[in-house]
Chain A
Amino acid sequence: MSANAPGTPLPQGIGRITPGWLTIVGLAAVAVALGIYAYSLEASEGLVATGLRDLGTMGGATWGLYVTFVVYFGGVAFGGVTLAALIRLLRLDELRPIGRLGQLLTVVALLLAAIAILVDLGQPLRGLVNLFLYARPQSPFFGTFTIVLSGYLFASLVYLYLDGRRDAAICARTPSRLRWLYRLWAAGYGDSPGERARHRRASFWLAVAIVPLLVVATSTLGFVFGLQAGRPGWYSAVQAPAFVTLAGVSGVGLLIVLAAVVRRVAGSEDRLGLNVFRRLGGLLLGLVLVYLFLLATELFTATYTGEVVERRLTEALLWGEFAGIFWAALAFFLLSLALLLWQALTRRWSIPLLVVAGLLVNLAAIGKRYLIVVPSQTHGQLLPYPEGSYTPALGEFAVIAGLFGLGVLLIALFMKVFPIVELPEEEVPAGA
């Protein structure tokens, strides 16, 4: 493998600190600091600092914003890595440039989900230990903690690592302060046809292994809710498929947004061309359609059942306390559907419009996750407890903001260390 001359810049602005980047990293760091501060208050006072309270006589919701975002981040992670895997499996070469972005998104989102679970625990330190010592497969949480957060995180890291070896090897050709890292990462990768073939085979099987794992894992997240017979609004067979679909929607949506950002800041306009976005848009359109179908099924079932509590819950969703979030989420879905449909029908795809659609579906997904988590607790009591209420405390918002900040920070740092868009084939001299 030939070395580049000193002074040759690393691709995609790696290692170059720009004021724009600094601003974003600074803002993200502030958010993280805020989140840490908010959490430290929570850690010292107890979860009483949140807006969460017990169900029943205390009239609260015991799972709130944190669990909402556990589910949301879990979904995003699913979307990211599934796409990356599908690119391999289905040989969607056009989409290859965003493969790494998808993998990265998964790793980061999983990390955030894990932190969100920890901040929600009453005894986080114990959680870290006891889950490894005593986790029970009977609990749907087993899946969440072990499969989703360990297996899946590890698998994504392996995937990211193996897929990045070639680019690491390329970067290692350029002298830089990070060269040791690239060498380490490349681990002797020479991009020989043999290695390429081996990598192709390995990553194919990895993808084969990952996708079902992910479907299982994400449905498991759905089962956390869907298996609860005593909780109106949760006990439903559509819960798992709806979870998976919405996960895809939010993951792909966020990927579109990220890709658009990366395209701008990493100067990858040529790698991340309109065709990439067109494909993603099409995918998103399909997922949104499937999701809306499932949503409609869910709503019809809920409104048609004779169960008074179910009906009361549906009423709270449709016209009651949660109507604002519900209709806003639905409007966002429909709006993004309209945007996507219009683009698909006219075959005139626009990146800004896609970004808008991506943002909209993510907001809607967050709203929808919230509506799955909270109303069944406050309005879904089977015994005649008074209606509960839950208003997230400022601290909870701060922690969530901190999580987003951490996500941005991690991705931003990654971008300055490693090519976030897979480097083009032709840069590699054949048969080196």
Chain B
Amino acid sequence: MRNVLTVLMVVVGFALQAISYFALAAPWVTTGVASGEPRVVGAPVLFIAGVVLVFLAAVVYELLPEKRGR
């Protein structure tokens, strides 16, 4: 469960980063109005959220008590 959650967070985090970076802000368009605007307002927040999620995974991994218990 913990491992699953951690891995999930890492995966989702990176996915968020990737999506927000490559899709939402369209870096390959260098001219035109489009490049000035993120396709979704707040895409950068999503990106940061991705970064945060990835590192938060470590906290989750360490702090989440193991289901099996001791």
B25 contacts which of A136, A199, A209 (Cβ < 8 Å)? A136
State the main secondary structure of chain B at its contact with A: helix
**Per-residue contact bits, chain B 15-56, to A (CB 8 Å; 1 contact, 0 not):** 000000100010100100001111001111101100110111
The yes or no answer to B59 lying at the interface (CB within 8 A) is: yes
Please tell me if the beta carbons of A133 and B41 are within 8 angstroms of each other in the complex: yes
By a CB distance below 8 angstroms, the chain A residues around B43 are: 135
By a CB distance below 8 angstroms, the chain A residues around B55 are: 151, 154-155, 158, 206, 209
Min CB distance A2 to B, Å, is: 19
By a CB distance below 8 angstroms, the chain A residues around B27 are: 136-138
**Per-residue contact bits, chain A 146-168, to B (CB 8 Å; 1 contact, 0 not):** 11001100110010011001000
Please tell me if the beta carbons of A162 and B62 are within 8 angstroms of each other in the complex: yes
Min CB distance B54 to A, Å, is: 7
A287 vs B70: C-alpha distance when bound (angstroms)? 47
A22 vs B40: C-alpha distance when bound (angstroms)? 50
The yes or no answer to A194 lying at the interface (CB within 8 A) is: yes
Nearest B residue to A150 via CB reads B48
Residues of B within 8 A of A (CB-CB), count: 27
Interface residues of A in 188-202 (CB under 8 A from B): 188, 192, 194-195, 198-199, 202
The yes or no answer to A131 lying at the interface (CB within 8 A) is: yes
A137 contacts which of B21, B36, B45 (Cβ < 8 Å)? B21
A194 vs B61: C-alpha distance when bound (angstroms)? 13
Please tell me if the beta carbons of B58 and A146 are within 8 angstroms of each other in the complex: no
**Per-residue contact bits, chain A 203-226, to B (CB 8 Å; 1 contact, 0 not):** 101100100000000000000000
By a CB distance below 8 angstroms, the chain A residues around B35 are: 136, 138
Min CB distance B5 to A, Å, is: 13
A158 vs B70: C-alpha distance when bound (angstroms)? 26
By a CB distance below 8 angstroms, the chain A residues around B65 are: 188
The yes or no answer to A304 lying at the interface (CB within 8 A) is: no
Q: 9 closest Cβ contacts across the A-B interface? A: A151-B51, A135-B44, A158-B55, A150-B48, A155-B55, A137-B27, A202-B58, A137-B25, A138-B27
Binding site for B on A (CB under 8 A): 131-138, 142, 146-147, 150-151, 154-155, 158, 161-162, 165, 187-188, 192, 194-195, 198-199, 202-203, 205-206, 209
Can you list 21 A-B pairs, Cβ within 8 angstroms, ordered by A? A134-B37, A134-B41, A134-B44, A135-B38, A136-B25, A137-B47, A138-B25, A138-B27, A138-B30, A138-B35, A146-B51, A150-B52, A151-B48, A151-B51, A155-B51, A158-B56, A161-B59, A187-B63, A203-B58, A206-B55, A206-B58
Given contacts A133-B45, A146-B48, A155-B51, 8 further A-B contacts (CB under 8 A): A131-B44, A134-B44, A135-B38, A136-B38, A151-B51, A154-B52, A158-B59, A192-B70
